[in-house]
Amino acid sequence: SNNPGNNLFVSGLSSQTDEAELEDLFSKHGKVIKCQVMRDPHTKEHRGFAFVTMDTFDDAERCKGALSGFRVGDRTITVETAKRGRPRTPTPGHYQGGPKVGMYGCECCGKRRCVSSTSC
């Protein structure tokens, strides 16, 4: 999916920074739709970056201007427009063949209870 410019990639986060803290910070500059700190799907370890989706392109631009280079805890964060519209669906650690309903849901449509294993 293409990013209409309202999805932000936030990097340089400390492992203590969580969604609530980011949402609080970004909501000072616009309306936050979604905030997701990325973690390793297996170890649940904080990966030091997050995606924040703002309501509008203008909100996102304001956040980029105000928060890139901002200090959060002992780290300086970087805020840029994300390359993709939304974070990638986590993929299992091993190849499972064609589309089928696995731990993360159907590979075609993402639904956990998809009845079709070929087309959605």
Q: What is the CATH number of the domain that holds 56?
A: 3.30.70.330
On average, the pLDDT of the chain sits at 82
Mean per-residue pLDDT, 105-109: 59
Domain count, the chain: 1
In a domain, 36, yes or no: yes
Q: Residue 16 falls within a domain, yes or no?
A: yes
Provide the whole-model pTM: 0.68
Domain that holds residue 66: 7-81
**Is 102 domain-assigned?**
no
Distances (CA, A) of 26 to 23, 55, 73: 5, 11, 15
In a domain, 17, yes or no: yes
Residues 48-98: pLDDT tens digits?
A: 999 999 999 999 999 999 999 999 888 999 999 998 655 555 555 555 555
Which tokens is 85 given? Answer: 């519209």
Residue 89, domain member (yes or no): no
Which has the closest alpha carbon to 46: 82, 81, 28, 72? Answer: 72
